[in-house]
């Protein structure tokens, strides 16, 4: 279950503040941050001054719609920021003022709960290194590492998952987050942050500050848009003397007005993408947040879209993680069905995923009747670390056991039986494939072996094929030997694998890819993953992981789902697709506006230009005003697309370019022709011009 704290686009709670923020953003110091829209801003002010100096309906309407253009661009950015602010407000609601039970400074950590002495302290006063006790029903006062005890923790406020998780000292599941609640038992936590540096504080800052950080691609695109604006500005400035010269030579007509020149400039510069550029970037981070992923900046989101190599953990990402029974291998002289029946009986009271999978496989393969552990008049033998086997003792002296091969060997030999040599060869073969062999015996007789296999997740091969079509290389990282890794890699369809992976090996592999000019993404949750996470371009740390892993990464997955890395890459790709598509549309629609406004602007000076009025617009004034109105309204119509993003498609760069040119390039040419003509008809019908 994913927590969704983002209001819908047309939620009044989001629209009203966005409208007010659009007016606040008319401050010149704010407008200056977007050079293209600043030109529109200055043009609006200049046109307003001209309209006040020589009042006409035409100049007043042009000035009004130029201001609308600026306001609509402001509103697009405000809507995107408003969604982030709503998310930040939701996160801020998770912060609660609580009291902590602190170990007195200088005191040694007691060995038992009963020997502990604690002093009350406000959670906001805790500092890095303080040690606190958290008992059942208490809220974890600050981020930290469990150093003693084990407890069930409710993290639904952070992750949205209702199922509690186990946190214990040592290992990769020792990290706890401030604001979560202990449900049972107790833990002793060493605080790992100072006030204002908690995970929730960092999440709030990440969300609120998202709009302040431009990515390299965004900066490059801004430079391109500014260059185009300067080119058009130079062209428009020279048009006035040309117009005056034409009138002087012909002795007829009138030169183009300054109001028309400003309208021409605004319609020709790339205002559409300039007005939506910031909104696209902020919306990308917002979509990450909706997926329960916290990115440190827009730079990390964009890097996800440019990734060339994915390093994916085998267990839990490519495979299910829980071993599943996949085959029965009977001993010589034993029927496979007899082995399956014995394995089912020995596993009917085994509630582990492996035990349940044995029962399911036996029933499916041999059509065995369903058994109920409670209905059997039997004595069940649980698994222990000492015996390394489990089973059942049935009435009539029938005794069934299943367990590790060496444990079953000792068991049957103690009863006077033998372990068949052919079965030992089968057991060795299963182990070499990377699977786990379980041997089943009845009394002193060995019946056969069960192969437990880490199953590749359904559909994962198709996902990797999609990534391959996008030009992304997938690399499986595993601690298995090369033979096992190669078999699973072939079954899963990954491009490469790293077997017997150590922290040093992962770090070296990432550096090799980066030295070849590739961007690398990976996930991790343990302290031993921290060096590789710090080196990777996109590093997704699991929320259940250690503090070191979370600090090394530039994203944190609140759901702690390793497969989320694929979704993160797709979200980054979607943001880049959206920016590219809207840039194509914005530049293409200048062509239609050229045919609308240029003939209308200069027909008074050069009557021959009326032949270019291919849209048959009513009057020069209606043509110019229609183009200005369309230029403003198209920003409004594209706001939902900028915030939701262009639909993700797993295609290569060349295919994506062709599609963008066909859909958004051609659309950018056609839509303005239709839109400007309809606005012209409306203006004439209303008698405005």
Q: Is 525 annotated as a binding residue?
A: yes
Q: Is 480 annotated as a binding residue?
A: no
- Burial zone of 227 (CB within 10 Å; 0-12 exposed, 13-18 middle, 19+ buried): exposed
Q: Could you tell me the CA-to-CA distances from 309 to 494, 511, 636 in Å, in that order?
A: 11, 12, 37
With a CB cutoff of 8 Å and minimum separation 6, the contacts of 112 are: none
Q: Provide the 8-state DSSP code for 607.
A: G
Closest Cα to residue 311, out of 528, 110, 532?
A: 532
Structure tokens at 469: 């079509």
Q: Is 402 annotated as a binding residue?
A: yes
Cα 10 from chain centre: 23
**H-run or E-run covering 583:** helix 564-602
Q: Is 84 annotated as a binding residue?
A: no
Closest Cα to residue 627, out of 572, 569, 679?
A: 679
Q: Is 8 annotated as a binding residue?
A: no
User: Count of CB atoms within 10 A of residue 184's CB?
Assistant: 14
Distance CA(454)–CA(316), nearest Å, equals: 10
Q: Is 315 annotated as a binding residue?
A: no
The three-class DSSP label of residue 401 is strand
The three-class DSSP label of residue 146 is strand
With a CB cutoff of 8 Å and minimum separation 6, the contacts of 318 are: 312, 456, 457, 460, 476, 488, 492, 494
With a CB cutoff of 8 Å and minimum separation 6, the contacts of 556 are: 199, 203, 293, 294, 540, 541, 542, 543, 550
With a CB cutoff of 8 Å and minimum separation 6, the contacts of 337 are: 366
With a CB cutoff of 8 Å and minimum separation 6, the contacts of 230 are: none
Distance CA(4)–CA(90), nearest Å, equals: 10
The alpha-helical segments, DSSP class H, found in 415-526 are 421-432, 460-469, 482-492, 503-515
Q: Are 541 and 525 in contact (CB under 8 A)?
A: yes
Q: Is 350 annotated as a binding residue?
A: yes
Show the 3-state SS of 157-210. HHHCCCCCEEEECCCCCCEECCCCEEEEEEEEEEECCCCCCCHHHHHHHHHHCH
Distance CA(300)–CA(349), nearest Å, equals: 48
Q: Is 563 annotated as a binding residue?
A: no
Q: Is 611 annotated as a binding residue?
A: no
Q: Is 389 annotated as a binding residue?
A: yes
Structure tokens at 61: 């309407």
Quote the Cα angle for 587-593-595, to 5°.
120
Q: Is 385 annotated as a binding residue?
A: yes
138 annotated active-site = no
DSSP 495-549: SEEE-S--HHHHHHHHHHHHHTT--EEEEE-SGGGHHHHHHSSEEEEETTS-HHH
Q: Which of 313, 559, 590, 680 is catalytic?
A: 313
Closest Cα to residue 157, out of 136, 145, 139, 169?
A: 139
Annotated binding residues for ATP, as ranges? 350, 354, 383-390, 402
Annotated binding residues, as ranges? 350, 354, 383-390, 402, 525, 529
Annotated binding residues for Mg(2+), as ranges? 525, 529
- Give the active site residues: 313
């Amino acid at each position: 279950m994913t927590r969704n704290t983002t209001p819908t686009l047309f939620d009044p709670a989001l629209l009203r503040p966005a409208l007010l923020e659009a007016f606040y953003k008319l401050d010149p110091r704010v407008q200056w941050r977007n050079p293209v829209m600043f030109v529109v801003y200055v043009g609006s002010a200049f046109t307003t001054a001209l309209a006040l100096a020589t009042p006409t309906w035409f100049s007043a309407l042009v000035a009004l719609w130029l201001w609308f253009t600026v306001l609509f661009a402001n509103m697009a950015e405000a809507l995107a920021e408003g969604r982030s602010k709503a998310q930040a407000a939701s996160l801020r609601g998770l912060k609660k003022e609580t009291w902590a039970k602190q170990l007195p400074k200088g005191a040694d950590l007691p060995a038992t709960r009963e020997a502990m002495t604690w002093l009350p302290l406000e959670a906001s006063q805790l500092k890095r290194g303080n040690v606190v006790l958290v008992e059942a029903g208490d809220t974890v006062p600050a981020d930290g590492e469990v150093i003693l005890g084990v407890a069930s923790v409710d993290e639904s406020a952070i992750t949205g998952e209702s199922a509690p998780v186990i946190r214990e000292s040592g290992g990769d599941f020792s990290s706890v987050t401030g604001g979560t609640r202990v449900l049972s038992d107790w833990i002793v936590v060493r605080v790992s942050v100072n006030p204002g540096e908690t995970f929730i504080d960092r999440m709030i800052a990440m969300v609120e500050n998202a709009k302040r950080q431009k990515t390299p691609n965004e900066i490059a695109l801004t430079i391109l848009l500014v260059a185009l604006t300067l080119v058009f500005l130079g062209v428009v400035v020279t048009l006035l003397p040309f117009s005056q010269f034409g009138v002087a030579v012909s002795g007829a007509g009138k030169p183009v007005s300054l109001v028309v020149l400003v309208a021409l400039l605004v319609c020709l510069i790339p205002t559409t993408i300039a007005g939506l550029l910031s909104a696209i970037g902020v919306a990308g981070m917002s979509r990450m947040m909706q997926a329960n992923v916290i990115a440190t900046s827009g730079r990390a989101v964009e890097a996800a879209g440019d990734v060339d190599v994915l390093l994916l953990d085998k267990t839990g990402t490519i495979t299910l993680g829980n071993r599943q029974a996949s085959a029965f291998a009977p001993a010589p002289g034993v029927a496979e069905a007899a082995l399956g029946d014995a394995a089912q009986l020995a596993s009917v009271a085994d509630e582990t995923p492996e035990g349940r999978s044995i029962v399911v496989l036996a029933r499916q393969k041999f059509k065995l009747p369903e058994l109920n552990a409670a209905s059997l008049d039997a004595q069940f033998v649980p698994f222990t670390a000492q015996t390394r086997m489990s089973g059942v003792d049935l009435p009539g002296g029938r005794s069934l056991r299943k367990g590790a091969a060496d444990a079953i060997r000792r068991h049957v030999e103690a009863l006077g039986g033998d372990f068949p040599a052919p079965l030992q060869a089968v057991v060795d073969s299963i182990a070499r494939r990377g699977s786990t062999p379980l041997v089943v015996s009845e009394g002193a007789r060995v019946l056969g072996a069960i192969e437990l296999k880490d199953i590749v997740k359904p559909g994962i091969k198709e996902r990797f094929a999609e990534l391959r079509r996008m030009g992304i290389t997938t690399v499986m990282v595993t601690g298995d030997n090369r033979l096992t890794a190669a078999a699973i890699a072939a079954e899963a369809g990954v491009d490469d694998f790293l077997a017997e992976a150590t922290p040093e090996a992962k770090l070296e592999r990432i550096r090799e890819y980066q030295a070849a000019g590739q961007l690398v993404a990976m996930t991790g949750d343990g302290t031993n993953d921290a060096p590789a996470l710090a080196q990777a371009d996109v590093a997704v740390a699991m929320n259940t992981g250690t503090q070191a892993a979370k600090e090394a990464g530039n994203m944190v997955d609140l759901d702690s789902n390793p497969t989320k890395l694929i979704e993160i890459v797709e979200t980054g790709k979607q943001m880049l697709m959206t920016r590219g598509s809207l840039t194509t549309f914005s530049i293409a629609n200048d062509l239609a506006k050229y045919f609308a406004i240029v003939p209308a602007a200069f027909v008074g000076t050069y009557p021959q230009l009326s032949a270019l009025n291919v849209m048959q617009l009513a009057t020069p004034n209606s043509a110019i005003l229609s183009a200005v109105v369309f230029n403003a309204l198209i920003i409004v119509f594209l706001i939902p697309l900028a915030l939701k993003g262009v639909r993700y498609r797993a295609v290569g760069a060349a295919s994506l370019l062709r599609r963008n040119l066909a859909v958004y390039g051609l659309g950018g040419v056609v839509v303005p022709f239709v839109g400007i003509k309809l606005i012209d008809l409306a203006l004439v019908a209303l008698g405005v011009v």
